[in-house]
Structure 1
Amino acid sequence: MYLSGKNQVIERINAQPETIEKIYLNKGKHFSLLNIILAMAKKNDVECVLLSPKEFSRLSSNIHTQGVIAEVKDFSYTKLEEVLNLAEQKKYALIALSNLTDPQNLGSILRSCACFGRIALIIPKHRSVVVNSTVLKVACGGENYVPVIQVTNLIPAFSEIKECGYWIGGCVANEGNDITQFKLPWPLCLVIGAEGRGIRKGIIRHLDFNLTLPMPGKGISLNAAVACAIFCYEIMRQRKVYKK
Protein backbone atom coordinates (compact mmCIF):
# COMPACT_ATOMS: atom_id res chain seq x y z
CA MET A 1 0.00 0.00 0.00
CA TYR A 2 1.10 3.57 -0.60
CA LEU A 3 0.58 6.90 1.11
CA SER A 4 1.27 10.13 -0.69
CA GLY A 5 1.49 13.77 0.31
CA LYS A 6 3.19 15.64 3.12
CA ASN A 7 0.50 15.42 5.80
CA GLN A 8 -0.25 11.72 5.36
CA VAL A 9 3.39 10.67 5.42
CA ILE A 10 4.39 12.92 8.33
CA GLU A 11 1.38 11.69 10.34
CA ARG A 12 2.37 8.08 9.71
CA ILE A 13 6.00 8.73 10.74
CA ASN A 14 4.77 10.33 13.97
CA ALA A 15 2.18 7.69 14.81
CA GLN A 16 3.31 4.37 13.35
CA PRO A 17 6.84 4.53 11.88
CA GLU A 18 7.21 0.75 12.22
CA THR A 19 4.57 0.28 9.48
CA ILE A 20 6.60 2.19 6.87
CA GLU A 21 8.69 0.06 4.51
CA LYS A 22 10.31 2.92 2.61
CA ILE A 23 9.82 6.60 1.76
CA TYR A 24 10.46 7.91 -1.75
CA LEU A 25 11.29 11.60 -2.18
CA ASN A 26 11.41 13.70 -5.32
CA LYS A 27 14.69 15.65 -5.27
CA GLY A 28 13.17 18.29 -7.51
CA LYS A 29 10.45 19.28 -5.06
CA HIS A 30 10.21 21.38 -1.89
CA PHE A 31 13.76 21.31 -0.49
CA SER A 32 12.62 22.37 3.00
CA LEU A 33 9.99 19.59 3.08
CA LEU A 34 12.57 17.01 2.06
CA ASN A 35 14.81 18.01 4.93
CA ILE A 36 11.95 17.77 7.44
CA ILE A 37 10.97 14.28 6.28
CA LEU A 38 14.57 13.09 6.05
CA ALA A 39 15.19 14.23 9.63
CA MET A 40 12.00 12.59 10.92
CA ALA A 41 12.74 9.37 9.03
CA LYS A 42 16.29 9.19 10.38
CA LYS A 43 15.05 9.71 13.94
CA ASN A 44 12.56 6.84 13.53
CA ASP A 45 14.90 4.53 11.58
CA VAL A 46 12.86 4.68 8.37
CA GLU A 47 14.63 4.23 5.04
CA CYS A 48 14.38 7.10 2.52
CA VAL A 49 15.17 6.95 -1.19
CA LEU A 50 15.90 10.16 -3.12
CA LEU A 51 14.72 10.05 -6.74
CA SER A 52 15.15 12.38 -9.67
CA PRO A 53 11.93 13.96 -10.98
CA LYS A 54 11.96 11.51 -13.90
CA GLU A 55 12.44 8.49 -11.63
CA PHE A 56 9.74 9.76 -9.27
CA SER A 57 7.25 10.20 -12.12
CA ARG A 58 7.69 6.53 -13.00
CA LEU A 59 6.72 5.64 -9.45
CA SER A 60 3.56 7.76 -9.51
CA SER A 61 1.70 9.76 -12.13
CA ASN A 62 -0.31 11.48 -9.39
CA ILE A 63 0.51 15.19 -9.46
CA HIS A 64 -0.71 15.69 -5.87
CA THR A 65 1.99 13.70 -4.10
CA GLN A 66 3.93 16.84 -3.08
CA GLY A 67 7.06 14.88 -3.94
CA VAL A 68 6.70 12.28 -1.19
CA ILE A 69 5.36 8.70 -1.27
CA ALA A 70 5.56 6.13 1.51
CA GLU A 71 5.31 2.41 0.92
CA VAL A 72 3.56 0.97 3.97
CA LYS A 73 2.56 -2.43 5.25
CA ASP A 74 -0.96 -3.67 4.60
CA PHE A 75 -3.48 -2.19 6.99
CA SER A 76 -3.70 -4.06 10.28
CA TYR A 77 -7.23 -4.57 11.59
CA THR A 78 -7.95 -4.68 15.32
CA LYS A 79 -9.62 -7.69 16.92
CA LEU A 80 -13.06 -7.05 18.39
CA GLU A 81 -12.14 -8.53 21.75
CA GLU A 82 -9.22 -6.11 22.13
CA VAL A 83 -11.69 -3.22 22.15
CA LEU A 84 -14.41 -4.93 24.18
CA ASN A 85 -12.03 -5.99 26.95
CA LEU A 86 -10.88 -2.47 27.78
CA ALA A 87 -11.54 -1.08 31.24
CA GLU A 88 -14.80 0.87 31.63
CA GLN A 89 -13.14 4.30 31.69
CA LYS A 90 -11.22 3.50 28.49
CA LYS A 91 -14.08 2.02 26.47
CA TYR A 92 -14.55 3.19 22.90
CA ALA A 93 -17.82 4.17 21.34
CA LEU A 94 -18.36 1.85 18.37
CA ILE A 95 -19.57 2.77 14.90
CA ALA A 96 -20.67 -0.23 12.80
CA LEU A 97 -21.06 0.34 9.07
CA SER A 98 -23.74 -1.51 7.12
CA ASN A 99 -23.94 -1.59 3.30
CA LEU A 100 -21.04 0.85 2.93
CA THR A 101 -19.05 0.22 -0.26
CA ASP A 102 -17.58 3.64 -1.07
CA PRO A 103 -13.90 4.06 -0.05
CA GLN A 104 -14.24 7.85 -0.07
CA ASN A 105 -16.97 7.61 2.56
CA LEU A 106 -14.94 5.24 4.71
CA GLY A 107 -11.94 7.55 4.52
CA SER A 108 -14.04 10.52 5.61
CA ILE A 109 -15.57 8.51 8.45
CA LEU A 110 -12.11 7.49 9.68
CA ARG A 111 -11.05 11.12 9.68
CA SER A 112 -14.13 12.16 11.70
CA CYS A 113 -13.66 9.37 14.23
CA ALA A 114 -10.04 10.42 14.72
CA CYS A 115 -11.03 14.05 15.22
CA PHE A 116 -13.67 13.36 17.88
CA GLY A 117 -11.67 10.66 19.66
CA ARG A 118 -12.25 7.29 21.39
CA ILE A 119 -14.35 5.88 18.56
CA ALA A 120 -13.69 2.53 16.88
CA LEU A 121 -15.10 1.33 13.56
CA ILE A 122 -16.58 -2.07 12.73
CA ILE A 123 -16.93 -3.22 9.12
CA PRO A 124 -18.05 -6.60 7.74
CA LYS A 125 -15.74 -8.64 5.50
CA HIS A 126 -18.31 -9.22 2.79
CA ARG A 127 -20.20 -6.72 0.63
CA SER A 128 -18.31 -3.90 2.29
CA VAL A 129 -15.49 -1.51 1.55
CA VAL A 130 -12.06 -2.40 2.98
CA VAL A 131 -9.21 -0.14 4.04
CA ASN A 132 -7.20 0.51 0.86
CA SER A 133 -4.97 3.27 -0.50
CA THR A 134 -7.98 5.43 -1.49
CA VAL A 135 -9.40 5.18 2.03
CA LEU A 136 -6.04 6.16 3.53
CA LYS A 137 -5.69 9.16 1.23
CA VAL A 138 -9.10 10.54 2.24
CA ALA A 139 -8.54 9.71 5.92
CA CYS A 140 -5.52 12.07 5.98
CA GLY A 141 -3.82 10.13 8.78
CA GLY A 142 -6.98 9.34 10.73
CA GLU A 143 -6.33 5.61 10.31
CA ASN A 144 -3.42 5.92 12.74
CA TYR A 145 -5.75 6.78 15.63
CA VAL A 146 -8.91 4.74 15.02
CA PRO A 147 -9.15 0.98 15.64
CA VAL A 148 -10.86 -0.63 12.63
CA ILE A 149 -12.40 -4.01 13.34
CA GLN A 150 -13.27 -6.33 10.47
CA VAL A 151 -15.79 -9.05 11.34
CA THR A 152 -17.15 -11.92 9.28
CA ASN A 153 -20.74 -10.90 9.99
CA LEU A 154 -22.17 -7.98 11.92
CA ILE A 155 -25.00 -9.90 13.59
CA PRO A 156 -22.85 -12.38 15.58
CA ALA A 157 -20.57 -9.45 16.44
CA PHE A 158 -23.56 -7.57 17.88
CA SER A 159 -24.33 -10.51 20.17
CA GLU A 160 -20.77 -10.36 21.48
CA ILE A 161 -20.97 -6.59 21.86
CA LYS A 162 -24.24 -6.80 23.82
CA GLU A 163 -22.75 -9.41 26.15
CA CYS A 164 -20.20 -6.75 27.12
CA GLY A 165 -22.96 -4.33 28.11
CA TYR A 166 -23.14 -2.21 24.96
CA TRP A 167 -26.37 -0.64 23.74
CA ILE A 168 -26.85 -0.76 19.96
CA GLY A 169 -28.61 2.08 18.18
CA GLY A 170 -29.45 2.50 14.52
CA CYS A 171 -29.08 5.77 12.66
CA VAL A 172 -32.14 6.12 10.43
CA ALA A 173 -33.46 8.84 8.14
CA ASN A 174 -36.92 9.08 9.71
CA GLU A 175 -38.94 8.17 12.81
CA GLY A 176 -36.01 7.69 15.16
CA ASN A 177 -35.35 9.55 18.41
CA ASP A 178 -34.09 13.08 17.82
CA ILE A 179 -30.32 12.85 18.48
CA THR A 180 -30.30 16.38 19.93
CA GLN A 181 -32.90 15.42 22.57
CA PHE A 182 -31.88 11.85 23.33
CA LYS A 183 -29.53 10.87 26.16
CA LEU A 184 -27.20 8.27 24.70
CA PRO A 185 -26.72 5.12 26.82
CA TRP A 186 -23.19 3.95 27.55
CA PRO A 187 -21.29 1.96 26.41
CA LEU A 188 -22.62 2.64 22.93
CA CYS A 189 -22.53 1.14 19.44
CA LEU A 190 -24.19 3.04 16.58
CA VAL A 191 -25.00 1.42 13.25
CA ILE A 192 -24.83 3.62 10.15
CA GLY A 193 -26.03 2.49 6.73
CA ALA A 194 -25.15 3.71 3.26
CA GLU A 195 -27.11 6.56 1.71
CA GLY A 196 -30.14 5.21 -0.13
CA ARG A 197 -29.76 1.63 1.14
CA GLY A 198 -29.68 2.22 4.86
CA ILE A 199 -29.12 -0.53 7.42
CA ARG A 200 -29.57 -4.16 6.36
CA LYS A 201 -33.01 -5.51 7.35
CA GLY A 202 -31.52 -8.45 9.22
CA ILE A 203 -29.70 -6.06 11.54
CA ILE A 204 -32.70 -3.93 12.51
CA ARG A 205 -34.17 -6.46 14.98
CA HIS A 206 -30.90 -6.37 16.94
CA LEU A 207 -31.18 -2.62 17.60
CA ASP A 208 -32.14 -1.28 21.01
CA PHE A 209 -33.25 2.12 19.67
CA ASN A 210 -33.13 4.32 16.57
CA LEU A 211 -31.75 7.83 16.14
CA THR A 212 -32.54 10.47 13.56
CA LEU A 213 -30.89 13.77 12.70
CA PRO A 214 -33.41 16.63 12.72
CA MET A 215 -33.30 18.24 9.27
CA PRO A 216 -35.99 20.90 8.88
CA GLY A 217 -34.62 21.98 5.51
CA LYS A 218 -35.23 20.51 2.08
CA GLY A 219 -35.69 16.74 1.85
CA ILE A 220 -32.17 15.98 0.64
CA SER A 221 -30.43 13.18 2.52
CA LEU A 222 -26.89 13.35 3.91
CA ASN A 223 -24.36 10.77 2.82
CA ALA A 224 -23.04 8.30 5.39
CA ALA A 225 -19.80 10.19 6.01
CA VAL A 226 -21.48 13.53 6.75
CA ALA A 227 -24.14 11.92 8.95
CA CYS A 228 -21.45 9.97 10.81
CA ALA A 229 -19.49 13.14 11.54
CA ILE A 230 -22.57 14.69 13.19
CA PHE A 231 -23.26 11.58 15.26
CA CYS A 232 -19.58 11.45 16.31
CA TYR A 233 -19.78 15.06 17.45
CA GLU A 234 -22.86 14.28 19.56
CA ILE A 235 -21.10 11.27 21.12
CA MET A 236 -18.19 13.53 22.08
CA ARG A 237 -20.50 16.26 23.40
CA GLN A 238 -22.52 13.90 25.59
CA ARG A 239 -19.37 12.25 26.89
CA LYS A 240 -18.27 15.62 28.22
CA VAL A 241 -21.69 16.47 29.66
CA TYR A 242 -22.23 13.10 31.33
CA LYS A 243 -18.52 12.36 31.96
CA LYS A 244 -18.46 9.03 30.15
Structure 2
Amino acid sequence: MPDQNDIIYGVHPVAEALKNPRRRIYSLKASRNAADRLATEIAVRGVVPEIVHPNVLDRRLGPEAVHQGLLMEASPLDQPRLDQIDKSGTVVLLDQVTDPHNVGAILRSCAAFNVTALVATSRHSPEATAVLFKSASGAYEHVPFVKVTNLARAMAELKECGFRVLGLDSDAVLDISEADHTAPVAIVLGAEGKGLRQLTRESCDSLVKLSFDGPIRSLNVSNACAVALYALRR
Protein backbone atom coordinates (compact mmCIF):
# COMPACT_ATOMS: atom_id res chain seq x y z
CA MET A 1 0.00 0.00 0.00
CA PRO A 2 1.44 3.43 -0.93
CA ASP A 3 2.10 5.98 1.79
CA GLN A 4 -0.46 8.41 0.37
CA ASN A 5 -3.80 6.98 -0.70
CA ASP A 6 -6.70 8.86 -2.22
CA ILE A 7 -9.52 9.36 0.27
CA ILE A 8 -12.84 9.29 -1.55
CA TYR A 9 -16.28 9.73 -0.02
CA GLY A 10 -19.84 10.21 -1.23
CA VAL A 11 -22.09 8.10 -3.44
CA HIS A 12 -21.08 9.35 -6.89
CA PRO A 13 -17.31 9.60 -6.31
CA VAL A 14 -17.18 6.14 -4.73
CA ALA A 15 -19.42 4.59 -7.38
CA GLU A 16 -17.26 5.91 -10.22
CA ALA A 17 -14.07 4.83 -8.46
CA LEU A 18 -15.49 1.32 -8.09
CA LYS A 19 -16.11 1.23 -11.84
CA ASN A 20 -12.63 2.50 -12.68
CA PRO A 21 -10.26 -0.43 -13.36
CA ARG A 22 -7.26 1.89 -12.92
CA ARG A 23 -8.08 2.23 -9.23
CA ARG A 24 -6.70 -0.26 -6.73
CA ILE A 25 -9.09 -0.23 -3.79
CA TYR A 26 -7.56 -0.81 -0.37
CA SER A 27 -10.62 -0.38 1.84
CA LEU A 28 -14.28 0.57 1.71
CA LYS A 29 -16.25 1.53 4.78
CA ALA A 30 -19.98 1.81 4.27
CA SER A 31 -23.18 2.13 6.23
CA ARG A 32 -25.68 -0.66 5.64
CA ASN A 33 -27.96 1.61 3.57
CA ALA A 34 -25.06 2.91 1.47
CA ALA A 35 -23.73 -0.61 0.84
CA ASP A 36 -27.19 -1.65 -0.33
CA ARG A 37 -27.39 1.40 -2.61
CA LEU A 38 -24.12 0.47 -4.36
CA ALA A 39 -24.60 -3.28 -4.11
CA THR A 40 -24.21 -3.83 -7.85
CA GLU A 41 -21.02 -1.79 -8.20
CA ILE A 42 -19.53 -3.40 -5.08
CA ALA A 43 -20.36 -6.90 -6.29
CA VAL A 44 -18.98 -6.34 -9.79
CA ARG A 45 -15.72 -5.01 -8.37
CA GLY A 46 -15.47 -7.84 -5.84
CA VAL A 47 -14.90 -5.56 -2.88
CA VAL A 48 -15.97 -6.61 0.60
CA PRO A 49 -17.05 -3.45 2.45
CA GLU A 50 -16.67 -2.98 6.17
CA ILE A 51 -20.15 -2.14 7.45
CA VAL A 52 -19.97 0.69 9.97
CA HIS A 53 -22.29 3.16 11.64
CA PRO A 54 -22.30 6.60 9.91
CA ASN A 55 -20.91 8.12 13.12
CA VAL A 56 -17.64 6.28 12.47
CA LEU A 57 -17.29 8.19 9.20
CA ASP A 58 -18.30 11.44 10.88
CA ARG A 59 -15.44 11.03 13.33
CA ARG A 60 -12.97 10.15 10.58
CA LEU A 61 -13.91 12.90 8.10
CA GLY A 62 -15.31 15.66 10.30
CA PRO A 63 -18.81 17.09 10.59
CA GLU A 64 -18.65 19.09 7.34
CA ALA A 65 -18.05 16.10 5.05
CA VAL A 66 -21.18 14.91 3.26
CA HIS A 67 -20.01 11.31 3.05
CA GLN A 68 -23.44 9.69 2.49
CA GLY A 69 -22.27 6.64 4.40
CA LEU A 70 -19.26 5.83 2.18
CA LEU A 71 -15.52 6.14 2.64
CA MET A 72 -12.93 4.58 0.31
CA GLU A 73 -9.16 4.45 0.34
CA ALA A 74 -7.72 3.79 -3.11
CA SER A 75 -4.54 4.15 -5.11
CA PRO A 76 -3.93 7.53 -6.76
CA LEU A 77 -4.59 7.75 -10.49
CA ASP A 78 -1.64 8.15 -12.82
CA GLN A 79 -2.21 11.27 -14.91
CA PRO A 80 -0.74 11.88 -18.39
CA ARG A 81 1.75 14.51 -19.44
CA LEU A 82 0.55 17.21 -21.81
CA ASP A 83 2.30 15.55 -24.74
CA GLN A 84 0.41 12.31 -24.02
CA ILE A 85 -3.17 13.62 -24.32
CA ASP A 86 -5.27 13.36 -27.46
CA LYS A 87 -4.68 16.30 -29.78
CA SER A 88 -8.35 16.74 -30.59
CA GLY A 89 -11.57 18.10 -29.17
CA THR A 90 -11.52 20.69 -26.37
CA VAL A 91 -8.94 21.29 -23.65
CA VAL A 92 -9.61 23.48 -20.60
CA LEU A 93 -6.71 25.32 -18.94
CA LEU A 94 -6.81 26.94 -15.49
CA ASP A 95 -4.70 30.00 -14.67
CA GLN A 96 -4.16 29.77 -10.88
CA VAL A 97 -7.63 28.55 -9.95
CA THR A 98 -6.89 27.13 -6.51
CA ASP A 99 -10.25 26.40 -4.81
CA PRO A 100 -10.81 22.61 -4.82
CA HIS A 101 -14.60 23.12 -4.88
CA ASN A 102 -14.31 25.17 -8.08
CA VAL A 103 -11.84 22.79 -9.71
CA GLY A 104 -14.02 19.82 -8.79
CA ALA A 105 -17.06 21.51 -10.33
CA ILE A 106 -15.01 22.34 -13.44
CA LEU A 107 -14.00 18.68 -13.74
CA ARG A 108 -17.68 17.76 -13.57
CA SER A 109 -18.49 20.14 -16.45
CA CYS A 110 -15.51 18.81 -18.40
CA ALA A 111 -16.85 15.28 -18.05
CA ALA A 112 -20.33 16.36 -19.10
CA PHE A 113 -19.00 18.00 -22.29
CA ASN A 114 -16.46 15.25 -23.02
CA VAL A 115 -13.43 17.53 -22.67
CA THR A 116 -10.13 15.98 -23.73
CA ALA A 117 -8.19 17.14 -20.64
CA LEU A 118 -8.05 19.70 -17.86
CA VAL A 119 -4.67 21.44 -17.53
CA ALA A 120 -3.37 23.42 -14.54
CA THR A 121 -0.03 24.47 -13.12
CA SER A 122 1.58 22.32 -10.46
CA ARG A 123 2.21 25.15 -8.00
CA HIS A 124 -1.08 27.04 -8.13
CA SER A 125 -3.76 24.36 -8.29
CA PRO A 126 -5.36 22.11 -5.68
CA GLU A 127 -4.10 18.65 -4.89
CA ALA A 128 -6.25 15.58 -5.49
CA THR A 129 -8.10 15.63 -2.17
CA ALA A 130 -11.35 14.22 -0.86
CA VAL A 131 -12.95 17.67 -1.18
CA LEU A 132 -12.02 17.88 -4.86
CA PHE A 133 -13.27 14.32 -5.51
CA LYS A 134 -16.59 15.09 -3.81
CA SER A 135 -17.05 18.34 -5.73
CA ALA A 136 -16.24 16.54 -8.99
CA SER A 137 -18.99 13.99 -8.25
CA GLY A 138 -17.12 11.15 -9.94
CA ALA A 139 -15.75 13.18 -12.87
CA TYR A 140 -12.16 12.84 -11.62
CA GLU A 141 -12.27 9.22 -12.80
CA HIS A 142 -13.01 10.27 -16.39
CA VAL A 143 -11.16 13.51 -17.22
CA PRO A 144 -7.35 13.53 -17.50
CA PHE A 145 -6.01 16.18 -15.10
CA VAL A 146 -2.64 17.35 -16.43
CA LYS A 147 -0.22 19.36 -14.28
CA VAL A 148 2.37 21.55 -16.03
CA THR A 149 5.20 23.74 -14.79
CA ASN A 150 4.48 26.76 -16.97
CA LEU A 151 1.05 27.61 -18.39
CA ALA A 152 2.30 29.85 -21.19
CA ARG A 153 4.60 27.09 -22.44
CA ALA A 154 1.72 24.61 -22.26
CA MET A 155 -0.40 26.98 -24.36
CA ALA A 156 2.42 27.26 -26.92
CA GLU A 157 2.70 23.46 -27.05
CA LEU A 158 -1.03 23.14 -27.71
CA LYS A 159 -0.77 25.73 -30.49
CA GLU A 160 2.00 23.70 -32.11
CA CYS A 161 -0.41 20.76 -32.12
CA GLY A 162 -3.05 22.78 -33.98
CA PHE A 163 -5.13 24.07 -31.06
CA ARG A 164 -6.69 27.52 -31.20
CA VAL A 165 -6.38 29.02 -27.71
CA LEU A 166 -9.16 31.26 -26.41
CA GLY A 167 -8.90 33.18 -23.15
CA LEU A 168 -12.09 33.92 -21.25
CA ASP A 169 -11.98 37.58 -20.21
CA SER A 170 -14.92 39.76 -19.16
CA ASP A 171 -13.24 42.81 -20.76
CA ALA A 172 -12.85 41.16 -24.17
CA VAL A 173 -14.57 42.71 -27.18
CA LEU A 174 -15.38 39.43 -28.92
CA ASP A 175 -18.26 37.28 -27.67
CA ILE A 176 -17.44 33.60 -27.41
CA SER A 177 -20.23 32.77 -29.86
CA GLU A 178 -18.48 34.91 -32.51
CA ALA A 179 -15.04 33.40 -32.09
CA ASP A 180 -13.50 30.80 -34.36
CA HIS A 181 -13.74 27.68 -32.22
CA THR A 182 -13.16 25.00 -34.81
CA ALA A 183 -11.75 21.96 -33.00
CA PRO A 184 -9.22 21.44 -31.64
CA VAL A 185 -9.71 24.37 -29.31
CA ALA A 186 -8.45 25.28 -25.84
CA ILE A 187 -10.23 27.62 -23.43
CA VAL A 188 -8.30 29.32 -20.61
CA LEU A 189 -10.02 30.36 -17.37
CA GLY A 190 -8.54 32.70 -14.77
CA ALA A 191 -8.96 32.83 -11.02
CA GLU A 192 -11.91 34.71 -9.60
CA GLY A 193 -11.05 38.33 -8.92
CA LYS A 194 -7.64 38.25 -10.61
CA GLY A 195 -8.72 36.82 -13.96
CA LEU A 196 -6.09 35.90 -16.52
CA ARG A 197 -2.51 36.97 -15.86
CA GLN A 198 -0.88 39.30 -18.38
CA LEU A 199 1.39 36.65 -19.92
CA THR A 200 -1.55 34.27 -20.18
CA ARG A 201 -3.61 36.93 -21.98
CA GLU A 202 -0.77 37.62 -24.39
CA SER A 203 -0.38 33.90 -25.12
CA CYS A 204 -3.98 33.47 -26.28
CA ASP A 205 -4.99 33.57 -29.94
CA SER A 206 -8.15 35.48 -28.98
CA LEU A 207 -9.79 36.86 -25.85
CA VAL A 208 -13.50 36.16 -25.62
CA LYS A 209 -16.29 37.00 -23.19
CA LEU A 210 -19.64 35.66 -22.09
CA SER A 211 -22.35 38.23 -22.76
CA PHE A 212 -25.12 38.71 -20.19
CA ASP A 213 -28.32 40.74 -20.19
CA GLY A 214 -28.94 40.78 -16.44
CA PRO A 215 -27.73 43.21 -13.76
CA ILE A 216 -24.88 40.87 -12.72
CA ARG A 217 -22.32 40.45 -15.48
CA SER A 218 -20.03 37.81 -14.04
CA LEU A 219 -20.18 34.18 -12.93
CA ASN A 220 -18.32 31.91 -10.56
CA VAL A 221 -15.42 30.39 -12.51
CA SER A 222 -16.93 26.90 -12.47
CA ASN A 223 -20.26 28.21 -13.78
CA ALA A 224 -18.44 30.26 -16.41
CA CYS A 225 -16.65 27.11 -17.51
CA ALA A 226 -19.92 25.24 -18.03
CA VAL A 227 -21.46 28.12 -20.02
CA ALA A 228 -18.31 28.51 -22.13
CA LEU A 229 -18.16 24.79 -22.95
CA TYR A 230 -21.81 24.84 -23.99
CA ALA A 231 -21.16 27.88 -26.20
CA LEU A 232 -18.17 26.15 -27.81
CA ARG A 233 -20.22 23.03 -28.49
CA ARG A 234 -22.88 25.06 -30.26
TM-score by length of 2: 0.87
SS state at 2:207 partner: strand
- More displaced 10-residue stretch of structure 1: 107-116 or 198-207: 198-207
Alignment of 1:191-202 (within 5 A): 191-202=188-199
* C-alpha distance 207-38 of structure 1, shift in aligned 2 (>3 A): same
1:188 to 185, 189, 196: 185
Deviates more, 1:154-163 or 1:60-69: 60-69
1:196-215 residue pairs with structure 2 within 5 A? 196-215=193-212
**Structure 2 vs 1, CA of residues 64 and 207 (structure 1 numbering), >3 Å: closer, same or farther?**
closer
| Secondary structure, counterpart of 1:180 in structure 2 | helix
> How far apart are 1:159 and its partner, in Å?
2.0
Name the structure 2 match of 1:44. 45
Aligned: 1:2 with 2:7? yes
- CA deviation map 1:14-56 (0-9, x unaligned): 23463422111124xx2xx423534432321334222345644
Cα distance 1:233–1:19, how it changes in 2: closer, same or farther (>3 A)? farther
| 1:152 equivalenced with 2:184 (yes/no) | no
SS at match of 1:136: helix
Q: Which residue of 2 aligns with 1:97?
A: 94
**C-alpha separation in 1, matches of 2:116 and 2:81:** 14
Specify the SS of the correspondent of 2:218: coil
What corresponds to 2:78 in structure 1?
A: 76
Q: Which runs of 5+ in 2 are unaligned?
A: 1-5
C-alpha distance in structure 2 between counterparts of 1:56 and 1:196, whole Å: 36
Contact 2:22/2:77 (8 A) holds in 1: no
Report how far residue 156 of structure 1 moved.
1.6
2-structure distance, mates of 1:193, 1:107: 15
Q: State the shift of 1:187 in Å.
A: 1.1
Change (3 A) 1:221 1:52: closer
Deviates more, 1:228-237 or 1:164-173: 228-237
Q: Distance in 1 between matches of 2:99 and 2:54?
A: 33
Query: Structure 1 residue 175 and structure 2 residue 172: aligned?
Result: yes
Identity between Structure 1 and Structure 2 (%): 28
CA contact (8 A) 2:96 2:120 kept: no
Q: Distance in 1 between matches of 2:83 and 2:61?
A: 39
> Contact 2:17–2:23 (CA<8 Å) still a contact in 1?
no
User: How far off its partner does 1:236 sit?
Assistant: 2.4
- CA separation of 1:169/1:53 partners in 2, compared to 1, >3 Å: closer, same or farther? closer
2:14 is the alignment partner of 1:13: no
The residue correspondences of 1:82-161 to structure 2 (distance < 5 A) are: 82-84=84-86, 86=87, 91-161=88-158
Q: Distance in 2 between matches of 1:5 and 1:71?
A: 12
User: What amino acid maps onto 2:76 in structure 1?
Assistant: D
Cα gap change, 1:162 to 1:50, in 2 (>3 Å): same
Q: Distance in 1 between matches of 2:116 and 2:216?
A: 29
Structure 1 residues 183 and 160, CA gap change in structure 2 (3 angstroms): closer
Give the partner amino acid of 2:219: L
Q: Where does structure 1 lack aligned partners over 5 or more consecutive residues?
A: 238-244
C-alpha contact 1:117 1:236 (8 A) present in aligned 2: no
Shift of 1:113: 0.7
CA contact (8 A) 2:23 2:76 kept: no
- Residue-pair matches, total: 228
Amino acid at match of 1:42: A
Query: Which whole-Å CA distance do the structure 2 matches of 1:64 and 1:71 have between them?
Result: 16
* Aligned residue type for 1:213: L
Whole-Å Cα distance in 2 between the matches of residues 56 and 182 of structure 1? 48
